[in-house]
């Protein structure tokens, strides 16, 4: 496609039209010399809806590990041998401390995540209690990621002060059975629908780089669009040692940027967040992702470390972007003023994923053409009890 073609995709997106599947494939398969033109077109859409603002989210792993699900990507699943911390629901004081750090880091949204299929009654009441306390003390929006939810639970979360609920679709309907067997794609869709019907903001995205095809990447975005999801975290697989996907290498920085461009064209007005795997896969090209996306996590992920908060704020400032307040306005003042010199870090160091010197990471279609081994057999073997197997809604 020519420069004018990428511009035409931006115009379609701005008009609210869905770009064709052929055009979506063209975005993902474009040559490297088209990447800057793609980013410029995606940035035109991003700037129309979000200006130069960057929304910051802060993750708290409020209950870690001990999960009965068998998601092949997850370091907290029952089939994972990853060396992570495992603990039940944190005490309210620990959650409030984390919310204080989120406020100091200028996060607009505090994301409270628990591992597991769905919350039991006692844990759910603890979540509601913590939400009320955080809302009373801090000017933060609250996102809850609790697994599968009922309509009653969704309404209770809204009444307590939760503003949005995260529950990722993770991948396409076709590819879901290759990743997990203990729940279905329809189960995940049902929770997103419960959240939407309760009047909460929907937050749902996926994990890319798990061995899916380009059609799966496209289908995931179309499913999110059809559900009317408003906040879309785009995770790039972190191949945590001890999971079946620890050896998967299907991404490079340019592939990640093309995916972000495609998702901006298909999800033009949505909050598009570069989530887990940003530092691992975009590496020196992280800032370029902000020309398509308008949000990142600041601080660490669920079980793995992210970039230092100061480095992220410097990246945003140096590129001419500004931090967004919880009210959606540009932050005024010095974003570094309350930045803590140190803060508790996630237990696992940042995973390094690099290709050999002088060799680019292979594209997905090249992997298939070469007959490279898939991550799927390893995940299936682990679910069968013969191997070792990232969190529930957010990746990392």
DSSP-assigned letter for residue 111: E
> How many residues in the chain?
396
In whole angstroms, what separates CA 199 from the centre of its chain?
22
Tokens of 387: 């191997």
- Which residues lie across from 114 on neighbouring strands? 63
Residue with tokens 């992997």: 367
Structural contact between residues 187 and 177, judged by C-beta atoms closer than 8 angstroms: no
115, 149 Cβ separation under 8 angstroms: no
* Residue reference for tokens 């307040």: 325
Distance, CA of 354 to CA of 280 (rounded, Å): 8
Distance, in Å, from the CA atom of 305 to the CA atom of 349, rounded to the nearest integer, reads 5
H or E, element range at 112 = strand 109-114
Question: Measuring CA to CA, which residue among 375, 71, 21 is closest to residue 212?
Answer: 375
Percent helix, percent strand, percent coil in the chain, to nearest 5: 40, 15, 45
Asked if residues 238 and 277 have their Cβ atoms less than 8 Å apart, the reply is: yes
User: What DSSP element (H or E) covers 13?
Assistant: helix 3-14
Active site residues: 67, 71, 74, 111, 143, 203, 273
Which residues make beta-bridge pairs with 61?
113
Residue with tokens 């990621």: 145
CA torsion sign for 298, 304, 307, 308 is positive
Q: What is the distance, to the nearest Å, from the Cα of residue 118 to the centroid of all Cα atoms in its chain?
A: 19
Q: Which of 135, 143, 141 is nearest to 62 (CA)?
A: 143
Could you tell me the CA-to-CA distances from 274 to 72, 82, 296 in Å, in that order? Answer: 21, 24, 5
């Amino acid at each position: 496609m020519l420069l004018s073609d990428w511009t035409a995709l931006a115009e379609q997106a701005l008009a609210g039209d869905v770009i064709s599947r052929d055009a979506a494939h063209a975005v993902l398969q474009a040559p490297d010399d088209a990447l800057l033109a793609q980013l410029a077109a995606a940035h035109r859409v991003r700037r129309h809806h979000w200006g130069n603002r960057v929304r910051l989210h802060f993750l708290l792993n409020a209950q870690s590990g001990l999960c009965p699900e068998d998601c092949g990507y997850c370091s907290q699943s029952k089939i994972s041998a990853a060396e992570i911390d495992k603990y039940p629901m944190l005490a309210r004081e620990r959650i409030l401390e984390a919310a204080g750090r989120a406020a100091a880091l200028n996060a607009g949204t505090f994301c409270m995540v628990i591992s597991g299929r769905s919350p039991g009654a006692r844990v759910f009441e603890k979540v509601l209690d913590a939400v009320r306390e955080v809302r009373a003390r801090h000017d933060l929006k609250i996102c809850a990621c609790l697994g599968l939810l009922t309509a009653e639970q969704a309404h209770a979360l809204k009444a307590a002060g939760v503003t949005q609920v995260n529950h990722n679709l993770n991948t396409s309907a076709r590819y879901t059975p290759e990743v997990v067997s203990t729940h279905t794609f329809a189960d995940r869709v049902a929770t997103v629908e419960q959240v939407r019907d309760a009047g909460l903001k929907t937050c749902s995205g996926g994990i890319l780089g798990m061995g899916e095809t380009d059609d799966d990447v496209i289908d995931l975005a179309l499913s999110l669009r059809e559900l009317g999801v408003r906040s879309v975290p785009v995770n790039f697989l972190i191949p945590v040692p001890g999971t079946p996907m620890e050896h998967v290498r299907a991404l490079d920085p340019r592939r990640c940027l093309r995916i972000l461009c495609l998702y901006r064209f298909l999800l033009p007005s949505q909050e598009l967040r570069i989530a887990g795997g940003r530092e691992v896969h975009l590496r020196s090209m992280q800032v370029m992702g902000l020309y398509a996306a308008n949000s990142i996590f600041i601080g660490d992920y669920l079980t793995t470390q992210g970039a230092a908060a100061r480095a992220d704020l410097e990246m945003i400032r140096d590129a001419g972007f500004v931090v967004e307040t919880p009210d959606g306005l540009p932050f005024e003042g010095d974003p570094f003023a309350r930045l803590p010199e140190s803060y508790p870090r996630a237990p696992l160091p940042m995973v390094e994923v690099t290709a050999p010197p002088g060799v680019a990471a292979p594209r997905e279609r090249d992997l298939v053409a070469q007959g490279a081994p898939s991550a799927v057999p390893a995940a299936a073997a682990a679910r069968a009890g013969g191997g070792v197997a990232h969190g529930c809604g957010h990746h990392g």
